[in-house]
Structure 1
Amino acid sequence: MAMIVGAPARAEINASAEAGIGYTDNIRRVAENETSETIGTMGLDLLWQERTRRIRGDAMVDLNYYEYVDNTFDSELVGTANGTLALGIVPETLNWVVQDSFGQAQSDPFAASTPETREDLNYFSTGPDLTVRLGPTGFGRLFGRWSSTNYETSPLDAERTTAGVAIGRRPTPRNELSLNAVTETIDFDNPQNTDYDRDSVFIGWRLDASRTTIDANMGYTWLQRDGSDKQGNALININIAREMTAASTLRMTLSQQLGDAGDSLRAQLTGNVVGGGAGQITATSDPFKNQLVSLEWSYMSGRTGFLLGAAHSKDDYEVAAQFNRERNDFTAGVSRRIASTVTLDLRATLEKEKFTNVDQENEEFRVGATLNWRAWRTLGMRLLVERIDRDSRGGSNEFVENRAFLTLAYYWGGDDAAALGGGGGFR
């Protein structure tokens, strides 16, 4: 649900567009007989936010187009994009909301992520929000959504209709407590997939204090597949951010929900989730219970920044129990402005994955360095080098890959654009 409230009008945009060339010594990500590949790349990184009386918009884009020069694979678009636009037809009363989330899913979750095993996944939704006042601080809210989930190749496309109601209290513009009820119907285009309904009741609490923000939902969800008994489970979704000092911030996520791949994509793009990548989302029509706990600490002062994060997640599928798995993700990074126009970013991640009903465990270590040279106010150069080392027990997807990208970048919207990602990334 989105709501436009009275606030000073403002618009912010930070972006970079780049083009260049890359090289990898193991494009197929195999243990033996590696194939090298030259990659032409174009990328876009964008952070946008707008707040006016009638418009509330947010967008975050991290996309790269890869052209495989040696024709090992067809060209592809990889990365993520997420945007929300709420139009105030009657400000503070009737809004029309449009949201779109784009990413990749893994068609074979037991294999390493390559152009052969990943595919695009898009989740689009739109519909109205109606909010009415109930006394000086109370409110009632009705909303409806029509949504579409589309896969690039897998026959898993689906439509869903969602309706919800909320009654709550907003003692201040930064504090809201509500009781919510939501009902959803998910219908797949392919009749071989099983349709299902999902109903949820939960208490929501949103707080935006001077140093702490909390977005919490707690309740219960019932899910019923056609021809099956109704399943139920607790619904928990808690996101907390706390400014420990003027330079450091601590973020925590605790969640449990019954959902599908589309829900997982949107949660990764809108929530505080440590880690990422196509391997976290499996292309399947089967709903599943996801449990997640993550913690991230960031520090930025002067010319130096640090990042530490850890996450544990568990997926339990309703029918496709072979996909059940547990993951542990660890992230560490450091950034340093080594000159007035030059920054160096170092990052390492470790992902441990275990399929609990299949004898397979994977461990993937990634390390990379990015050198940004802001030669002029709007032009710069970026060099990225990275190494990925994957071990597997019970699987045949071990590999080591080294890759590098050199790109020219055009920046607009402020100095923060220089800190945006791009140049290939861990795909």
Structure 2
Amino acid sequence: MGKLGATRAAGLAAGVMAVLLSSAARAELQAVAEVGVGYSDNIRRNNANKVEETIGTAGLQLDWDQRTRRIDGEATVDLSYFEYLDNTFESEVVGTANGSLAVDLLADRLQWVFEDSFGQAQDDPFAPTTPETREDLNFFSTGPNLMVRLGATGFAQLFGRWSQTTYETSPLDAERTTAGLTLGRRASERTELTLNGVAEEIDFDSDVNTDYERKSAFVGYQLDAARTLITANVGYTWLELDGSDDTSGSALVNVSVARDLSASSTLQLTLSSQLGDAGDALRGGLAGGIVGAGSQITATSDPFENRVASLEYRFFRNRTGFTLGASLTDDDYETQSQLDRKGKVYSASFTRRMARTLDFELTAALYDEEFQSTGLQSDELRYGAALSWRAFRTLGWRLLAERYDRDTNDASGEYQENRVFLTLAYYWGAGDAPAQR
């Protein structure tokens, strides 16, 4: 991954940091910046020809949230820069970053929105993930919201967006223009019911790809109760490929239910079905808190129906925390049926503050994929352990060990890889405590 990916990631982080510095006193922020060195015993992930590699690394983990009279913003960044010192690969930035910022230009009337999602897509979804098979994927969107009150509880909103999906190397870059209308009613400060219509045009930079139009109509509902947050959009989407008289369609479902079971625990359920592209899958997965989001995206211009069910339980009390999660995905492509796949992700993590300056973390995730047309099935198990020593209030050391193990039903692309990293960490914000993942 070259300069383009690093520049985009650095630009996103710089933009977030600029907002933070301008109003840090009113923002909730946790961040960890790291720099160090690592080692891999099989960097190419090829058991028949193992190649060792020394890796220079720098990373940023950041969680930011701000709610003021004129600014509504949030960002989650988890990025790592890898410099391969033995020159096996070019340097790269890996990880995800997702953020949104809404600025009121006219109070309760005109709002300008910025959204950005950064991640990676697989050039070859049938092979192990390496710098040779993945590339940067970025989805950026901006535009206005114009709001009009209709009586005491009613409102109307007209919105427009210009969006761009950008790939690092593949000729799949596209621009999107979106217009929509929302009619709604707020029965109380905690409930909202809306009727929505959205029309979009997706135009690819390269003539090799097929442009298309997408139209959606759906009903939205939102409930923000004392311990429960429900967001639901249910309707239908129509899609028409350029040059075709046929129109395909599918149900549009986006339902998220988050419930605080206690002061220490939260359960989140997400159900989603949408007809879109890789940019939609990246943005929807990261913004919706899908378990394993951003890890199973294929670089292609072909629209597909993406169905997801995700459940995650989070617990944190005193010095101990853990998460348990699972998700099911089903992707059906319009024309490239060889990419159709079903996936499962199971994840777990455990954190423990062993002493005032010592933290321990265990993580594990199992990725299960099946491509129906080719018959390929793969299981990839990833697990690791980290020990963080806070030698000073904002400075410390972090030792991380990871193992990756992939098995397939035809023995192709199987590998085992072990990695270890030692980094110097700088903690910033929220009492200078580590960000909880």
SS of structure 2 residue aligned to 1:418: coil
1:259 has 2:276 as partner: yes
Deviation at 1:298, TM superposition (A): 1.2
Identity of aligned residues (%): 60
In structure 1, list runs of 5 or more residues that go unmatched: 1-8, 422-427
Tell me the CA shift for residue 374 of structure 1. 1.7
The alignment status of 1:357 with 2:397, answered yes or no, reads: no
Output the CA distance in 1 between the equivalents of 2:294 and 2:421: 19
Q: Distance in 2 between matches of 1:400 and 1:276?
A: 23
Q: Confirm whether residue 43 of structure 1 aligns to residue 59 of structure 2.
A: yes
Aligned residue number for residue 171 of structure 1: 187
1:239 is aligned with what amino acid?
S
Identify the residue that residue 334 of structure 1 maps to in structure 2: 350
Greater fraction of residues in helix: 2
1:419 Cα deviation from its structure 2 partner: 2.9
Match of 2:252 among 229, 235, 240: 235
Quick check: 2:66–2:73 contact (8 Å CA) kept in 1?
Answer: yes
Where does residue 91 of structure 1 map in the other structure?
107
Partner Cα separation in structure 2 for residue 247 and residue 89 of structure 1: 38
CA contact under 8 A between 1:16 and 1:420: conserved in structure 2?
no
Cα displacement (A) at 1:417: 4.2
1:320 aligns with 2:345: no
The CA deviation at 1:215 is 1.0
Corresponding residue number in structure 1 for 2:417: 401
After TM superposition, the runs of 4+ consecutive aligned structure 1 residues lying more than 6 A away are none
Q: With structure 1 as the length reference, what TM-score do the two structures score?
A: 0.94
Q: Distance in 1 between matches of 2:199 and 2:320?
A: 47
Deviates more, 1:225-234 or 1:281-290: 225-234
User: Which amino acid is 2:279 matched to?
Assistant: G
Counterpart in 2 of 1:67? 83
Aligned residue pairs, count: 412
Could you tell me whether the CA contact under 8 Å between 1:45 and 1:420 is conserved in 2?
no
Using the alignment, how far apart are the partners of 1:277 and 1:134 within structure 2?
39
Deviation at 1:394, TM superposition (A): 3.1
The answer to whether the 8 A contact 1:333-1:347 is kept is: yes
Q: Deviations over 1:326-381 (max 9, x none)?
A: 00111122111111111111111111100011121000111111111122211111
* Amino acid paired to 2:167: Y
- Of the three residues 214, 217, 220, the one matched with 2:236 is 220
Asked if the contact 2:238–2:248 (Cα under 8 Å) also holds between the matched residues in 1, the reply is yes
* One-letter identity of the residue aligned with 2:127: A
Distance in structure 1 (CA, Å) of the matches to 2:410 and 2:336: 19
1:378–1:416 CA distance, 2 compared to 1 (3 A)? closer
One-letter amino acid of the counterpart of residue 196, structure 1: Y
By how many angstroms is 1:84 displaced?
1.1
Is 1:246 paired with 2:271?
Answer: no
Alignment of 1:276-291 (within 5 A): 276-278=293-295, 280-291=296-307
Per-residue Cα deviation, 1:303-340 (whole angstroms, up to 9, x for no partner): 11121111111000000000000001111221111111
Among candidates 287, 303, 310, match of residue 294 of structure 1: 310
| CA distance in structure 2 between the aligned counterparts of 1:102 and 1:174, rounded to whole angstroms | 32
Cα separation, 1, equivalents of 2:411 and 2:308: 25
Q: Residues 46-69 of structure 1: CA distance to partner in whole angstroms, max 9, x if unpaired?
A: 111222211111111111111000
Q: Which has the higher contact order (CA 8 A, sep 6+)?
A: 1
Deviations 1:159-192 (CA, angstroms, capped at 9, x unpaired): 0000000001112233211000000000000001
1:33 maps to amino acid: N
Q: Which residue is 1:207 aligned to?
A: 223
2:131 paired residue number = 115
TM-score using structure 2 length: 0.92
Structure 1 residues 167 and 237: CA distance shift in structure 2, 3 A:
same
